A and B are shown apart, each in its own frame.
Chain A
Amino acid sequence: MICRVKFGESMAGKFLSHLDMLRAWQRAIVRSGLNLAYSQGFNKHPKLSFSSALAVGLTSSGEYVDIELNEELPAQEIAERLKKHLPPALELYALKIVDDKTPPVMSIIQRAEYRVSVKLAQSVPLAEIEKTIDELLASPRLEVERRKKNSREKKLVDIRPGIYQITAEYQDELLIIKLFLQNNSDGNVKPDETVGLIIKNYPGAEISQIHRQELYTIKDGQLLSPMEV
């Protein structure tokens, strides 16, 4: 039986690496006494499949994991047992039982929504920030520098095709930038590099927190939560 779980990483969890989080989940499931399925063979590993890895330093309220169990139980009971045993860094929001043939959550994610908090050195009218965003979105190419895999060399990557929407608002002194970005097997657009393109126009501005709000799949042109598939 496969359960799909929506969960979040709180402030206490923001420094967990993907591997730390995986271990924390595995241990929570063992503590809850649920009969977790393991792969057979030389090196057994638990059958857990996560949505895309969350970078270290980010909080999130939209993470997903598919858990395969060797037993049939009502969703509510599984959710309650997991809730009780998750460590302080992780929080379970919802759980549903999905069909055994459902493609793993990792394979269906297409978009990620982020909320980036920015501290400005001096206040800037919202209209001006919106104008910067519009200009940015109007450019045909947006290049950022990334390090090549396993190398110190850098390369330029065009992230414009992977940016779908950017909006901004003020919450008290904090500027909140909301972004919808590509997040799939073809590559991810990173929230910090995207916001970096905006705030480089405002000296002294710095990102204070990045929160992943949600992950989406796409069905018939509509953004859909992985829980709704």
Chain B
Amino acid sequence: MIKPLLDLKGEALKEYVALNILPQVEKPLRYQGEELNAIHKDWDKSGLHLAFAFPDIYEIGMSHLGLNILYQQANSHPDYLMERVFAPWDDMEELLREEGIPLFSLESYRPLKDFHGIGITLQYEMCYTNIINMLDLAHIPPKRKDRTEDDPLIFMGGPCAYTPEPLADFADFFIIGEGEEVNMEIYALWLENLKQNGGKLNRKQFLEDLVEIEGVYIPEFYEAAYHEDGRLASFEPIHPKAPKVIKKRMLKSMEGAFFPTKPIVPYLEVVHDRAVLEVLRGCTRGCRFCQAGVLYRPVREKSVQELVEQALAIIKNTGYDDVSLSSLSTSDHTCAYQLLTALLEELEKRNVSVSLPSLRVDNFSVNLAQQVQKLKRSSITFAPEAGTQRLRDVINKGVTEKNLVDVSYRIFENGWSKMKLYFMLGLPTETDEDLAGIANLGYTVLSIGDEVRESQKNFLKPPQINISVSCFVPKPFSAFQFEPQVPMDELRRRQKYLRGLIKNKRIDFNYHDPEVSYLEAIFAKGDRRLGEVLYKAWELGCKMDGWSEFFDFDAWMEAFEDCGIDPEFYAYRKIDYDELLPWDHLDCGVRKSFLIREHKKAMEAKVTPDCRFGVCSGCGICPDREVKLDLRGGKPGDM
């Protein structure tokens, strides 16, 4: 039985929740707010009220740099108010539903329905059902067609907004690309519309104006038609002002770009409980499985001086004792060594450490790691991704066995005892020989560790290798977008085969069931018809699909069946180069012809060098979008 809606908001709701609800949930701090540097604005003095919704739990969302950037940026403007909301864990959800309390924002404890807009960040496919669930919890109809002029506008951005079609039924508009510039343009237009209409949005007029902003995709302005075999036949604008192709937005330079030096400091320990400094954006290493490496081109670095200033400001404003240097590939910053030296000089005397998230397999990266981990030598992680040179050439991962051998010696000689190695299973052209290569690499690295330990008279801890193998998901906007995913049964056979090859107790072998990867593949390549499946899955109880305790594969398959949609069509089909794709109307700056060329080269196991080393690989973004690589030093890896 559902109680009638509890009509409380603001301080009254906050008190009610603190006394009656929070004592009953496992982690009350997820819903409390009042963290240091959280921004509490005057509701009545702000003309535009926005909620930033993160469709996963607090600890995940608060670890997300993008949230802090966009939240602080919006709130830096006197007329805009932005508050946060996260997906509640099921203990909280149950209480909210029981008591009839609509989902509220953390800052002012207002129901989401009170806001003009709800911005949702799309970080991964497995959070889509949480979006529907959050809207439902907020008493907002999840489907656009069921909403009225009194409901907030629902807009979405983030990496998965490049493949938005499965969410087209739910969003009013999508923002394609980097948000820093375009968001502020959108908010200005929004506020103007509100002002002209006495505080109530004229939605029709707003969308008519909004469509002119580059980077905005309004799904209701387009119509899709399909061939009998299920492939997309056409995707056309049905509004005279809607562009045929929507270009992504990006910053031309990171220099002076808005960066939050006063981020929120959670009370609760979150996943990344430290200061995060974005040192560069983009990566041109050109790994053929990598979507982000295409979406965030070109490479734009921040200057050492700006980074040091920002790091110091963040420490001063937060009190964190660790700064993480974040990017797709931090050791590739052309001034990485200078940056680290300058940062450590300032931070060590403040007892602040620096951490590097992931490292390339080369000596330069090990030098950097050595610099930052002077005392703690716990474990170090590398991602060779594939087990043989042939397959690493196919995926254009510029790592050789010699690199890994050299690096392993350096690692163990310098006191690390634990090494983690990440690989992907089910890459295009993969054979059992490539799987054996993964096991062999594990053994090679372990024997290097033993050799080093012996030469140092067993002073060190015995080496330990951890091999983690994920299931490959072919992603749109990568060279492998044309590839089918390896079917689940075959992935399981390969996992078992590899498992059988690793028999040393000091090599730990981790892998996951391929069911989640299968769904990721389906939704990554999905079209509009999947909106029905999403909604059905949610009706069948799917939510928090990224959490193994909630993930219910059978319910998902039931949803596909109920909707009469074949999931294998999306995940297991080889795509022709000339096929019209459900993301072809979105232009990430890199040409499809480049992806086709890269795919052909992959099949011939031919590598393409990183354009930062001199030869342009012809992805098209620099001439087409009048941008260029923005590097601060010579080449990546220079000292």
Contact B319 A31 (CB under 8 A): yes
CB-nearest residue of chain A to B350: A30
Which chain B residues border A46 with CB–CB below 8 Å?
351
Q: Do A15 and B319 have beta carbons less than 8 Å apart?
A: no
How far, in Å, is B323 (CB) from chain A's closest CB?
Answer: 12
How long is the Cα–Cα vector from A13 to B273 in the complex, in angstroms? 19
Tell me, rounded to whole Å, the shortest Cβ–Cβ distance linking B531 to chain A.
Answer: 38
Q: Is B23 an interface residue (CB 8 A)?
A: yes
Q: Which of A28-72 contact B (CB under 8 A)?
A: 28-31, 33, 36, 38, 42-44, 46, 56-57
Contact A30 B36 (CB under 8 A): no
A46 to B351, CA, bound (A): 10
Q: Residues of A contacting B315 with CB < 8 Å?
A: 30
Partner-binding segment picked from A19-27, A169-177, A180-188, A214-222? A19-27
A27 touches B18 (CB 8 A): no
How many angstroms from the CA of A33 to the CA of B316 in the assembled complex? Answer: 8
Instruction: Please tell me if the beta carbons of B28 and A15 are within 8 angstroms of each other in the complex.
Output: yes
| Interfacial chain B residues near A157, Cβ < 8 Å | none
Using an 8 Å CB-CB cutoff, how does the interface string of B25-52 with A read, 1 for contact, 0 for none? Answer: 0001100101110000000000000000
| Number of CB contacts from chain A to chain B under 8 A | 65
Q: Using CB atoms, name the residue of chain A closest to B377.
A: A42
Query: Which residues of A lie under 8 Å from residue B265 when comparing CB positions?
Result: 27, 87
B193 within 8 A of A: no
Residue B19 CB within 8 A of the other chain: yes
Instruction: Decide: A12 near B34, CB < 8 A? Known: A20-B29, A208-B19.
Output: yes
* A11 contacts B by Cβ under 8 Å: yes
Residue of B nearest to A36 (CB): B351
- Complex partner residue of B375 from A27, A42, A88, CB under 8 angstroms: A42
A33 neighbours in B (Cβ, 8 Å):
316
B319 adjacent to A27 (CB under 8 Å): yes
Q: Does any Cβ of A come within 8 Å of B321's Cβ?
A: yes
B29–A28 touching, CB < 8 Å? no
Task: Answer yes or no: B318 CB below 8 A from chain A CBs.
Answer: yes
Given the known interface contacts A44-B351, A87-B267, the answer about A31 and B29 at a Cβ–Cβ threshold of 8 Å is: no
| 0/1 interface trace, chain B 299-341, chain A, CB 8 Å (1 if under) | 0000000000000000111111100000000000000000000
- How distant is B246 from chain A, measured CB to nearest CB, in Å? 42
B319 and A28 contact, CB distance less than 8 A: yes
Q: Which DSSP category, helix, strand, loop or mixed, fits chain A's interface?
A: mixed
Q: Check A20–B18 contact: CB distance below 8 A.
A: no
Docked pose: A120 CA to B23 CA in angstroms = 19
Per-residue CB contact flags for chain A residues 80-116 toward chain B (1 = under 8 Å, else 0) read 0000010111000000000000000000000000000
* Interface size of A as a range: 20 to 34
Judge whether A20 and B319 touch: CB under 8 Å.
no
CB distance from A175 to the nearest CB of B (A): 16
Asked if residues A20 and B269 are in contact (CB atoms below 8 Å), the reply is yes
Q: Which residues, 572 to 613 on B, are CB-close (under 8 Å) to A?
A: none
Contact pick for A27, options B29, B32, B320, CB 8 Å: B320
Contact of B29 among A16, A26, A38, A42 (CB under 8 A): A16
Q: B32–A12 contact, CB under 8 A?
A: yes
Q: Which residues of A contact B280 (CB under 8 A)?
A: none
Chain B residues bordering chain A, tally (CB within 8 A): 26
Chain A residue contacts of B376, Cβ below 8 A? 42-43
Contacts of A14 in B (CB 8 A): 18
B12 to chain A, nearest CB (A): 14
Residue B268 at the A interface, CB < 8 A?
yes
Interface residues of A in 94-150 (CB under 8 A from B): none
Chain A minimum-CB-distance residue to B375: A42
Contact of B269 among A12, A19, A56, A208 (CB under 8 A): A19
A24 to B22 alpha-carbon distance, docked (Å): 20
Selected contact of B23 from candidates A20, A29, A57, CB within 8 Å: A57
CA distance A186 to B548 in the complex (A): 42
Which residues of chain B from 261 to 280 have any CB-CB distance to chain A below 8 Å in the complex?
265, 267-269, 273
Asked if residues B319 and A30 are in contact (CB atoms below 8 Å), the reply is yes
B346 to chain A, nearest CB (A): 14
Q: Which residue of chain A is the closest to B38 with respect to CB atoms?
A: A88
B269 surroundings in chain A (CB, below 8 A): 19-20, 23
- Which chain A residues lie closer than 8 Å to B273 at the CB level? 23
Assembly CA distance A134 to B321 (angstroms): 52
Which chain B residue has the least Cβ–Cβ distance from A21?
Answer: B267
Q: What is the chain A residue whose CB lies nearest that of B18?
A: A11
When distances are taken between beta carbons in the complex, the residues of chain A under 8 Å from B34 are 12, 87-89
A89–B316 Cα distance when bound, in Å, is: 19
CB distance from A210 to the nearest CB of B (A): 10
Contacts of B317 in A (CB 8 A): 31
- The docked-state distance in angstroms from the alpha carbon of A57 to that of B25 is 11
A41 to chain B, nearest CB (A): 9
- B319 contacts across to A, CB distance below 8 A: 26-31, 85
| Assembled-state Cα–Cα distance A23/B32 (Å) | 17
B182 smallest CB distance to A (angstroms): 33
- Residue from B35, B268, B318, B351 in contact with A31 in the complex, judged by beta carbons closer than 8 Å: B318
Residues of B within 8 A of A209 (CB): 19
A219 to chain B, nearest CB (A): 35
* Nearest residue, chain B, Cβ from A15: B28
- Are B350 and A16 touching (Cβ within 8 A)? no
B84 to chain A, nearest CB (A): 16
Q: Which residues of B contact A30 (CB under 8 A)?
A: 315, 319-321, 350-351
Q: Which residues of B contact A89 (CB under 8 A)?
A: 34, 267
Bound complex: CA A208 to CA B15 (Å): 12
Query: A26 — which chain B residues lie within 8 A by C-beta?
Result: 319, 321
Q: A31-B317, A57-B23 are in contact. Are A15 and B350 (CB under 8 A)?
A: no
Inside 8 A of B22's CB, which chain A residues have their CB?
15
Residues of B within 8 A of A15 (CB): 22, 28-29, 32, 267
8 new A-B contacts at CB < 8 Å, known A29-B319, A42-B376:
A15-B22, A23-B267, A27-B319, A36-B351, A44-B351, A46-B351, A89-B267, A208-B19
A-B contact pairs, 25 of them (CB 8 A): A12-B34, A13-B267, A15-B29, A16-B267, A20-B29, A20-B267, A20-B268, A24-B267, A27-B36, A27-B318, A27-B321, A28-B319, A30-B315, A30-B350, A30-B351, A31-B317, A31-B318, A36-B351, A43-B376, A44-B351, A44-B375, A87-B36, A87-B265, A88-B34, A209-B19
Please give me the 7 A-B residue pairs with the lowest Cβ-Cβ distance, nearest first: A27-B319, A30-B319, A15-B28, A87-B36, A31-B319, A12-B34, A88-B34
